[in-house]
Amino acid sequence: MEWQVWLGIAAIVIATAALVVACVVWSQQAWMRKRQAAGPVRVTHVQTVPTTPRRIAVVANPSKAGVDELEAKVKEFCADNDLEEPRWYETTIEDPGVGQARQAVEDGADIVLAAGGDGTVRAVAEALVGTRTPMGLVPMGTGNLLARNLDISVTSLDDALDVLVTGRTRAIDVGWLRVAQFAEGDDGDTSAEHLFLVIAGLGFDAAMVADTDADLKKRVGWVAYFVAGLSHLHGRRMRARIWLDDAPPAETRLRSLLVGNCGLLPGGIILLPDAVVDDGVLDVAAIDTRGGMVGWAQLFGEVVMQNFGVRNDLPEKLGRIDHAKARRVRVRVTGSEQAQVDGEPLGRAVELETWVQPASLHVRTP
């Protein structure tokens, strides 16, 4: 009868997994419906640009599949919409898009289109922060985090391009992170300020990003991050001291500290349900689990249920997420932990600080 027992266990596991996936999908749809019912998100500032921009510049990552086809498609799109022929700039290993975007602005672009993954989007955004030139998005990466949070299609190139002429220009916040102290032996630059548009993190999430296999990511997409995370499920909890704005520091133990500008991740996971891209503050999530796999299971349940607007604030839980808001966050850990911004590993940090730059980036959105 042993095989029957194992068959029954397998059936339960598969059924539970299917239920969880269904809940995540349903909750994402419910979240989207709630956003649509609430009407447009508040726009802090609307830039004065032509209703139909005349000059479009494209900053493209040539390593992404489909870039050659994209160039022809953008030229066709501009011709069909009576726009000037687009200017084309390609990123390099030495410059992932900052210099190219700045050159596009100098060349008179009405919109600079970031065509690539999250790294390309961050680089173009860094060049455009504080300017009056909006950024457009053609998602071509694994996560496409900002596009997902701004309701820009990650599956239809035609729909993404249409936003350039039919959409509106929104001013959104950006986050910045600086590692004040790296782990001993890490030669990171403590003066470097790293822009993030979605989520920066310290701990489990960053370790998962740092260990993701690049070849596997190309084959299976964002699922590769979860595969990498399996090896860290039984890792130690970090000891952290956290400062939020001018409040006294809090001492805690946790798995991850996330600081976000918006909260929708691939797979329909809404990690920061209260985050708004133009509210002038950052959302903070302190994530912790105890009790091995039981704690992780409870934590995943917390993520799913908070997407329904249900939060369990009972203090004695094996898996929990505590939320806060702040304009500036500083954290110091015992030892060191991996850090990341929008899926880019930064190395092992002992102390870091983040802050928000409100309404500083103009983006073309639906």
DSSP 141-162: SS--HHHHHTT--SS-HHHHHH
Residue predicted with more confidence, 293 or 124: 124
How far apart CA 84 and CA 228 sit, in angstroms, is 45
Is 80 exceeded by the pLDDT of residue 232? no
3-state helix, strand, coil in the chain (%, to 5): 35, 30, 35
**Mean pLDDT, to the nearest integer, of 222-249?**
80
User: What CATH number was assigned to the domain covering residues 175-358?
Assistant: 2.60.200.40
Is 60 exceeded by the pLDDT of residue 17? no
pLDDT at 297: 73
Residue predicted with more confidence, 140 or 307: 140
**Mean pLDDT, to the nearest integer, of 184-199?**
95
Is 70 exceeded by the pLDDT of residue 354? yes
Confidence class of residue 112 from pLDDT cuts 50, 70 and 90?
Answer: very high
CATH class of 56-171: alpha beta
Q: Inter-axis angle of helices 67-80 and 157-166, to 10 degrees?
A: 40
**Mean pLDDT, to the nearest integer, of 230-245?**
84
Q: Any idea where the domains of the chain sit in the sequence?
A: 1-39, 56-171, 175-358
Residue type, 179: V
**Mean pLDDT, to the nearest integer, of 187-191?**
94
pLDDT tens digits for range 146-163: 999 999 999 999 999 999
Block residue for tokens 């500008």: 261
pTM reported for the whole predicted model = 0.82
Residue predicted with more confidence, 226 or 282: 282
How far apart CA 25 and CA 18 sit, in angstroms, is 11
What percent of the chain lies above the pLDDT cut of 70? 76
How far apart CA 364 and CA 166 sit, in angstroms, is 9
CA dihedral 203, 205, 211, 212 (to 10 degrees): -170
Q: 51: which DSSP letter? A: S
pLDDT at 43: 40
How far apart CA 14 and CA 33 sit, in angstroms, is 29
Burial class of residue 22 in the structure, from the number of CB atoms within 10 Å of its CB (0-12 exposed, 13-18 middle, 19+ buried): exposed
What percent of the chain lies above the pLDDT cut of 90? 61
pLDDT at 9: 35
Helix (H, G, I), strand (E, B) or coil at 261: coil
Residue type, 327: R
- How many angstroms separate the first and last alpha carbons of the chain? 58
Rg (CA), the chain: 21
Within 305-343, strands assigned E span: 319-326, 328-341
What tokens were used for 2?
Answer: 């042993």
- Range with the lowest mean pLDDT among 20-24, 84-88, 177-181? 20-24
